[in-house]
Amino acid sequence: MEHLINKQVLDIQVSNIRKFSEMAAKYDDVITFAIGQPDFATPEHVKASGKLAIDRNRTEYTTNAGLPELRQAAARFVSHKYGLNYIPDHEIIVTTGASQGIDIAFRTILSEGDEVILPSPVYPGYEPLIKLCGAIPVYFDTTEDQFRINPDRLKNAITTKTRCIVIPSPNPTGITFDAESLERLAESLQDKEIFLLSDEIYSELTYEGRHHSIAAVPSMREKTIVINGLSKSHSMTGWRIGLTFAPAYLTKQMIKVHQYSATCASSISQHAAIEALTTGMDDALSMKDVYRKKRDYAYGRLTAMGFDAHMPNGAFYIFPSVKKFNASSFDFSVDLLQQEHVAVVPGVAFSPYGEGFVRISYACSMDDLKTGLDRIERYVRSLD
């Protein structure tokens, strides 16, 4: 009966991130830099709010779009933090994690044969969702521009079939977009009927200055869907709370897809999320300070070993080149795992333009970071 399964589903491959995590699990003493999982516990006051919701039997369905008070809190949060203004009742949806928000956005705006431009290297979770819509992912090389979008070069990737451009969060490169580059991009797209999907899940983990959203550019708001959530900012990955911010005409259609795919996000998690976005508005600041120290340490160690790398300015990843070691990113990663029991993710997991790089997550204890980097140093010295 397998031949009857949807071909688009059959063609989807398991993420290489997960593959390497599973390979690493076979080693007892492995140091893993492979998963983008914050190494902090959910803040205590947020957990207490979730427990209280259970004790008060707040376990019923919520409205499809999410608790009104949560959407109001989300609107205040992004207005205060990023200068984004959205109407809670008509322009915000609470989703089951940011991934579901991306899914309903694509299913709302994409049709068979549409093209979606993915600035690459890029998080591998977009491609399967695009293909499930019958649309076509188009990878756009950013490696020559320090992993940022060059508007002049982007013009060559746009065709009459381009329906959407993804502006990805800094995964896997750790590189964010500054206000000037976003304004230049907005200017180049101003007269084009192309949607933008701006994945801003790491918005609170921007190290230098504040996070900037292309949706804050007036001409872009009406064509942009902003994806955010609490997984990274409040270390709430398992609570599965995502948020979409989009103009009313888009949100009105996205809610249809959402209500039939998820009904609503977990009511318990939503009550905890209210606490996170109000009392915990600045919870990410202390986490960011710790990540910054780990970033500085990882960058200093790797460059001292001879790796070429750009200094990350967001998230908790660094994306060094391994080209000088004369091995593919996959072979380098496998050999490193086998020889030194350190798990990194080969760059090819993030599109063909990731070849020649590896992704290292420094969302781990400082002891593990030091030990893992010691092992990497020993490994690269053995290659001389």
Q: 3-state SS string over 25-52?
A: CCCCCCEECCCCCCCCCCCHHHHHHHHH
Is-contact 78 281, C-beta < 8 A? no
In terms of domains, do 207 and 296 share one?
no
Q: Examine residue 384 and state whether it is found in any structural domain, yes or no.
A: no
- pLDDT level of residue 28 (50, 70, 90 thresholds): confident
Q: Which of 226, 220, 181 is nearest to 81 (CA)?
A: 226
Q: Examine residue 78 and state whether it is found in any structural domain, yes or no.
A: yes
**pLDDT, tens digit, 9 for 90 and up, residues 147-174:** 999 999 999 999 999 999 999 989 999 9
- pLDDT level of residue 179 (50, 70, 90 thresholds): very high
- pLDDT level of residue 358 (50, 70, 90 thresholds): very high
- pLDDT level of residue 269 (50, 70, 90 thresholds): very high
Sequence-ordered alpha helix ranges (H) in 133-197:
151-154, 179-189
pLDDT at residue 17 greater than cutoff 80 = no
In terms of domains, do 368 and 256 share one?
no
In terms of domains, do 297 and 180 share one?
no
In terms of domains, do 246 and 299 share one?
no
Helix axes 97-109, 248-261, angle to 10 degrees: 120
In terms of domains, do 64 and 172 share one?
yes
In terms of domains, do 38 and 65 share one?
no
In terms of domains, do 81 and 219 share one?
yes
Q: What is the pTM of this model?
A: 0.96
Question: Please, is 326 exposed, middle or buried when counting C-beta atoms within 10 Å of its C-beta (0-12, 13-18, 19+)?
Answer: exposed
Domain boundary among 221, 256, 277: 277
Tokens of 292: 């910054």
Q: Examine residue 54 and state whether it is found in any structural domain, yes or no.
A: no
Biggest distance spanned by C-alpha atoms of the chain: 63
Q: Which residues pair with 256 in a beta bridge?
A: none
Number of folded domains in the chain? 2
Integer CA distances (angstroms), 272 to 39, 50, 268, in order:
19, 5, 7
For the ranges 11-15, 101-105, 107-111, 203-207, which has the lowest average pLDDT? Answer: 11-15
Is-contact 35 17, C-beta < 8 A? yes
pLDDT at residue 332 greater than cutoff 90 = yes
Q: Which residues pair with 96 in a beta bridge?
A: none
Integer CA distances (angstroms), 39 to 10, 79, 96, 333, in order:
34, 28, 21, 22
In terms of domains, do 210 and 334 share one?
no
**pLDDT, tens digit, 9 for 90 and up, residues 30-61:** 999 998 899 999 999 999 999 999 999 999 99
How far, in Å, CA of 322 to CA of 324, rounded? 6
pLDDT at residue 110 greater than cutoff 90 = yes
pLDDT at residue 14 greater than cutoff 90 = no
Domain boundary among 235, 255, 277: 277
In terms of domains, do 246 and 288 share one?
no
The residue to which tokens 């990410």 are assigned: 284
Q: Examine residue 50 and state whether it is found in any structural domain, yes or no.
A: no
In terms of domains, do 207 and 338 share one?
no
What pLDDT, on a 0 to 100 scale, did the predictor assign at position 11?
Answer: 85
In terms of domains, do 16 and 108 share one?
no
Q: How far is CA 47 from the centre of its chain?
A: 23
Range of the domain at 273: 60-277
Domain boundary among 262, 277, 292: 277
What pLDDT, on a 0 to 100 scale, did the predictor assign at position 313?
Answer: 96
Q: Examine residue 53 and state whether it is found in any structural domain, yes or no.
A: no
Q: Examine residue 51 and state whether it is found in any structural domain, yes or no.
A: no
Strand, helix or coil at 314? strand
**pLDDT, tens digit, 9 for 90 and up, residues 273-324:** 999 999 999 999 999 999 999 999 999 999 999 999 999 999 999 999 999 9
pLDDT at residue 24 greater than cutoff 80 = no
What pLDDT, on a 0 to 100 scale, did the predictor assign at position 212?
Answer: 96
Q: Examine residue 168 and state whether it is found in any structural domain, yes or no.
A: yes
- pLDDT level of residue 16 (50, 70, 90 thresholds): confident
Which CATH number is 309's domain given? Answer: 3.90.1150.10
Q: Examine residue 186 and state whether it is found in any structural domain, yes or no.
A: yes
Average pLDDT over residues 92-99: 98
Which CATH number is 198's domain given? Answer: 3.40.640.10
Integer CA distances (angstroms), 223 to 132, 193, 210, 284, 285, in order:
22, 8, 23, 29, 31
In terms of domains, do 351 and 271 share one?
no
What pLDDT, on a 0 to 100 scale, did the predictor assign at position 89?
Answer: 98
